[in-house]
Every structure is written in structure tokens, then in C-alpha cells.
A and B are shown apart, each in its own frame.
Chain A
């Protein structure tokens, strides 16, 4: 049972345009969401995160939106650059009963973003 899903395996956009990457989740206990970026032969690197008490978080060209009622989050990259070409993973974390968090992440399958010059 895939609790975090990225239904688009790939996305291709033109340089300077907006890239929108989507992620859906099923576990209503998830309360912290992250996006990671991964280049070939490297480990994932943290990009941006959002807590469930917010619906938007912005960091430079990157904005993450969270729609809790739809259990959906998205990552917007504006403007897109060729160096943004990578695999993007969304991930989610849930507090255990009692309010403590181990930081265990559940990842989506990833979306390959290609930004053309």
C-alpha cells in the first residue's frame, strides 16, 4: 500500500517556465512533508519542507503548497532552470501516538524533471 504517491514519472518543461510537481498521500497522520532533489550517482538533498499547520512555504524559486483536505501537496519551481533537472521525491512523516516523532520518512516514487534550455 503506497501511502505517498507521485503519479507523474516524468515532467518536461522549458527553461524560464514554471515546473509543478505533484504528490498525494493517504495517511491522515502525516504532519510534516518534505521535498528532496536527487542527481544521478548522488544521494537525495533536502529542498524544502512544510508542516501540516501551514498551507504554503516559500524559499526562493521553490514553493510548496499543502492541501490537507485533498491530501495533496505540490512543488512549484519558478523560473525553472536547466540545473533543476533531477529526480524529485516527496516524503512524509507522522508523529507516533504520544506526540513523539522518530523522523521516519515515507517516500514517493519520484518524478524525473527535465528542464530544456
Chain B
């Protein structure tokens, strides 16, 4: 009954450090997504992967990279963290195929603070 699992749940970094946020889903979904949530701004799409082996930029990709390691896992990497990347990061997945509309399922988030 895991759904979408994100690790870690909390992290504090110093400016310039790097880290990778992990996401795994056990629902055999094709598509996976990374969002960030900032106060008063809702969720904004960083990167997405429509299917295994493909990734593409979302609305706010600068400063991030992603890897779709396999169908289950989609990681988000901050190469050189900046205070502006302090946020709550959500991973999501959906069984989205071409032309299908399926709701996305979200993990519980990673709260990232960059000092």
C-alpha cells in the first residue's frame, strides 16, 4: 500500500552542496513528475518523465536535473543548492498514456532547507 515513496522527508543543506531526492512508485505507472511547492504559489512542475527512458522540462527546471532510472524510480538532483531552492518537493506518478487522462498520485514530500 506504499504508492509513491519519497526520501528523505527532511533535509538541510548549505549553499553550494549537492543532493539527490529519491522517488519510487509501486503502481506500475508510466509517467512520473517532480513539483515544488512554495507559499502562495501552488505546485509548479520542475521536470517530468512521460515514460521510461524519457524526461522533459517543466515550468521551473533551472538548477535541477533528473534521472528516470527505471519504470519505478525518478530522481531529482540539485547540483549546487541555492537558498531559492528552499521548498517542499513532491513527486507524483500517473498511468498516463498518450491521450489518457488519469489523476496523478503524490508522495508526501521532501522538505528541503538551504542555508
**Which chain A residues have a beta carbon within 8 Å of chain B's beta carbons?**
4, 6, 9, 32, 34, 36, 41-46, 49, 51, 89, 91, 93, 99-110
Interface size class of B (residues with CB under 8 A): 20 to 34
Which of B43, B106, B109 sits near A45, CB closer than 8 Å? B106
Contacts of B4 in A (CB 8 A): 43
**Chain B residues near A36 (CB, 8 Å)?**
106
Given contacts A49-B101, A101-B101, 12 further A-B contacts (CB under 8 A): A4-B42, A32-B101, A34-B103, A42-B108, A43-B92, A43-B107, A51-B101, A89-B43, A102-B31, A103-B33, A104-B58, A108-B42
Q: Does B75 contact A (CB under 8 A)?
A: no
- CB neighbours (8 Å) of B33 from chain A are 103-105
In the complex the two chains form, what is the Cα distance from A103 to B101 in whole Å?
Answer: 7
Enumerate chain B residues within 8 angstroms of A105, measured Cβ to Cβ.
33, 43, 45, 104
Whether A110 and B42, one on each chain, are in contact in the complex, defined by CB atoms closer than 8 angstroms, is: yes
Q: List 30 A-B contacts (CB under 8 A).
A: A41-B109, A42-B108, A42-B109, A43-B90, A43-B106, A43-B107, A44-B43, A44-B106, A46-B104, A49-B101, A51-B101, A89-B42, A89-B43, A91-B43, A100-B98, A100-B99, A101-B99, A101-B101, A102-B48, A102-B56, A103-B33, A103-B48, A103-B50, A103-B94, A103-B100, A103-B102, A104-B48, A107-B44, A108-B42, A109-B40
Q: Name the distance in Å between A54's Cβ and chain B's nearest Cβ.
A: 12
CB closest chain-B residue, reference A32: B101
Query: Hey, which bits of chain B sit against chain A, CB under 8 A?
Result: 4, 31, 33, 35, 40-45, 48, 50, 56, 58-59, 90, 92, 94, 96, 98-109
Chain B residues closer than 8 Å to A49, beta-carbon distance:
101, 103
Option from B45, B100, B108 in Cβ contact (under 8 Å) with A104: B45
Among A4, A6, A9, A91, the one with the most B-chain Cβ atoms within 10 Å of its Cβ is A91
Nearest A residue (CB) for B106: A43
Contacts of A32 in B (CB 8 A): 101
